[in-house]
Structure 1
Amino acid sequence: MDKPYAILMVCMGNICRSPTAEGVLRARLQQAGLAERVLVDSAGTHAYHVGEAPDPRSCQAARRRGYDLSSQRARQVTVADFSRFDLILAADRQNMSALRAICPATAQAKLDYILAPLGGKTAQEVPDPYYGGEQGFDRVLDLIEAASDGWIHRLQQDGILPPDR
């Protein structure tokens, strides 16, 4: 494999859901011995928090489970991301709509949902924990951990990543 497979996680402001998804998937890939094969990044559909660290509540919830989000900084999705990344995963329908609006026709097949491996109605919505309590951040982690494992399995089944050793 010449260049790593590249995955972009996307939510609205890039301070809660997508940095959590980036951190969890990166850690799960590391645990599976696949970190060198996949580049993981995150971005937001809006520029509300560009340059900011992830929400302290996201960082705290992630840290309790062994994930470190501290080096991440929010950025906004750019048109260049559609050629740079192989898979672009939206946190919810609203963000998917924003992505589709700026996505070149040739890259539409790269779009999917962060929770797609979970199937059903759940597969389209990572709930935004920003305005809620601590339990919302834990719920986001529960969903993203399961989805990250699902994405690794799916990429292995599709031959993009090697099977479990």
Structure 2
Amino acid sequence: MTTRILFVCLGNICRSPTAQGVVARMAAEAGVPVELDSAGTGGWHVGEPPDARATGEAAARGYDLSAQRARQVRAADFKAFDLILAMDRSNLATLERLRPPGTATPVRLLLDYADSSRDEVPDPYYEGGFDLVLDLVEDAARGLLREIAR
């Protein structure tokens, strides 16, 4: 059975496309069937590729984000996906406010699946830290894929 997962951050140009790219490659390598997408709770970057800094850091570790384009979360996502994973508590709260009545798709933090003591993936857009984002996302991706494979 294929698991459909949506990764969500604020603008969909740093953290959530990174998560999509990392999980896509790791799932393919592990033979875990997934359908993945990413989106932002805000619409400022709709149609844009991921941030060049995120793309560069990901490429240095062998992940390709080049085909991704930013989009905003939509109501239909709560029915189209089996799991929605937010990068931080703020986006988690926004997703719960956007949730259409009667939808039960689980919405969780990505780092719920990580061994890290952190619970949020920090936003590197202004402060940098794209390497830390990748470290955290890789950790969570391993845990996520272990759980899906069960």
- Cα displacement (A) at 1:13: 0.1
Change over 3 Å in CA distance of 1:105–1:38 after alignment to 2: same
Q: 60, 78, 93: which one pairs with 1:97?
A: 93
* AA partner of residue 14 (structure 1): N
Return the TM-score normalized by structure 2.
Answer: 0.95
Q: 1:67-146 maps to which residues of 2 (within 5 A)?
A: 67-118=63-114, 122-123=118-119, 125-133=120-128, 136-146=129-139
RMSD: 1.4
Work out the CA distance in 1 between the residues paired with 2:14 and 2:72: 14
- Cα displacement (A) at 1:105: 4.4
Work out the CA distance in 2 between the residues paired with 1:64 and 1:54: 15
Q: Which residue of 2 aligns with 1:161?
A: none
Return the TM-score normalized by structure 1.
Answer: 0.86
Q: 1:16-95 maps to which residues of 2 (within 5 A)?
A: 16-34=14-32, 37-95=33-91
Contact 2:114 2:141 in 1 (8 A): no
Kindly name which structure, 1 or 2, has the bigger radius of gyration based on alpha carbons.
Answer: 1
Work out the CA distance in 2 between the residues paired with 1:65 and 1:104: 37
Work out the CA distance in 2 between the residues paired with 1:120 and 1:143: 7
State the Cα deviation string for residues 130-158 of structure 1 (Å, max 9, x = none). Answer: 0123xx0000000000000000111123x
Contact 2:122 2:133 in 1 (8 A): yes
